[in-house]
Structure 1
Amino acid sequence: MDKIKISNLEVFCNHGVFKEENVLGQKFLVSAILYLDTREAGLTDNLEKSIHYGEICKYIENFMKKHTFKLIETAAEKISMNLLLNWDNLEQIDLEIKKPWAPIGIPIENVAVEISRKWHTAYIACGSNIGDKKKHLDDSIYALNQRETCRITKVSDFILTQPYGDVVQDDFLNGCLELKTILNPKELLTCLHEIENAEHRERIVKWGPRTLDLDIIFYDDLILADDDLIIPHIEMHKRDFVLKPLAQIIPYKRNPVNHKMVIEMLYDLQK
């Protein structure tokens, strides 16, 4: 991906743990690497197809001066998130904030915090088999899209499927969606649980009936195995109600674990 680099933007502002830092202020140096596709801008010589680095610098300066934080970690986090949310063609940012006058009582060139934040692509399976199933799915998609940190880019058709497991229950309405998000996997999981809870989801019986079920299937090409979250979804290759709608929107996406495309996994399941 292409990059625009901003090096050592000087900002005099009032961040720090000590009261004197908040009152007297000090110099900070901010550097940023902006990741985007500059191809069209380069071919057309059109600034609107790129990012106005002067506006980025002004935004960073104004933000640093307007707010007061104890930690430069907080300043870096909030600046990065706001830039990603407010500049449509910005895909990723690496941000560094240096504090040359850090009051630690011994000679030092500077103290710095450097972070990297980006838009991630996640694929979410959704299902419902209680009450107005379509409304539960529609409401969940709307609620997710209303989150500032989430942008739904594709939604599959909803399909009626038989329940998975041995519990006797009504048929499910299932679908999948593509999501751009700044949230990390655990934050995204919490977000999905909040939306499930708003639809009165109850976790009483495994694979039992539910008003709403939202599962992370893919998150970029991440492989993650924690006690409460496994990505890619460990059961996806066994579930046609996940693979069928997923194949509508990303048939050639490869599972980073078994290296099979979605359409291949669906074919294997149907053999």
Structure 2
Amino acid sequence: METTRQYVALTDLRFYAFHGYYPEEQVLGNEFTVAVRTGFLRRETGGDELNRTVNYETLYNIAKTEMQVARKLLETVAETMLTRVQEEFPFVDEIEVTICKNQPPFGGDRAKAAVTLSWNRHPKEM
């Protein structure tokens, strides 16, 4: 039996936010980029209905809302985004969230720090 996997993703979402372990990061803020990728089995072909897919406007609003809540760790922000995507789209069986801090406070004029959380409802055997 043939199946079709569908992926819906947003990449390079830019936010100015106040995440960081150090107090000065929570005061000064930083620029972040966010990517959210979802995957699921496509149940039906054809049709042009939004309820058959992941609404990327909803993904954007989840990312925007969570980026506005200052937290110490990017892992916490990514985990909250991942959980909200699971709740909003229960048919999704893969989610990946990446958050990148574009100028972390440890130096390096082009340095970036990133955290990625990847969830799969049906992990492959190791």
- Tell me, yes or no, if the aligned pair for 2:101 and 2:114 is still in contact at 8 Å: yes
Q: Unmatched 5+ residue regions in structure 2? A: none
State the identity %. 25
Distance in 1 between residues matched to 2:22 and 2:110, nearest whole Å: 18
- Tell me, yes or no, if the aligned pair for 2:6 and 2:42 is still in contact at 8 Å: yes
Secondary structure at the aligned position of 2:105 is classed as: coil
Cα distance, 1:78 vs structure 2: 1.8
Higher RCO (C-alpha under 8 Å, 6+ residues apart): 2
Aligned residue pair count: 122
Provide the aligned C-alpha RMSD in A.
1.8
Higher helix share: 1
In structure 2, the partner of 1:59 is 62
User: Residues 153-210 of structure 1, C-alpha deviation per residue, up to 9 Å, x if partnerless?
Assistant: xxxxxxxxxxxxxxxxxxxxxxxxxxxxxxxxxxxxxxxxxxxxxxxxxxxxxxxxxx
Cα distance, 1:49 vs structure 2: 0.8
Cα distance, 1:47 vs structure 2: 0.7
Q: Letter of the aligned partner of 1:58 in structure 2? A: N
Distance in 1 between residues matched to 2:124 and 2:118, nearest whole Å: 17
Cα distance, 1:106 vs structure 2: 2.4
Q: Letter of the aligned partner of 1:72 in structure 2? A: L
Secondary structure at the aligned position of 1:43 is classed as: coil
Distance in 1 between residues matched to 2:114 and 2:108, nearest whole Å: 16
In structure 2, the partner of 1:102 is 104
Q: Unmatched 5+ residue regions in structure 1? A: 121-219, 224-271
Could you state the TM-score of these two structures normalised by the residue count of structure 1? 0.42
State which structure, 1 or 2, has the greater radius of gyration over its C-alpha atoms: 1
In structure 2, the partner of 1:18 is 22
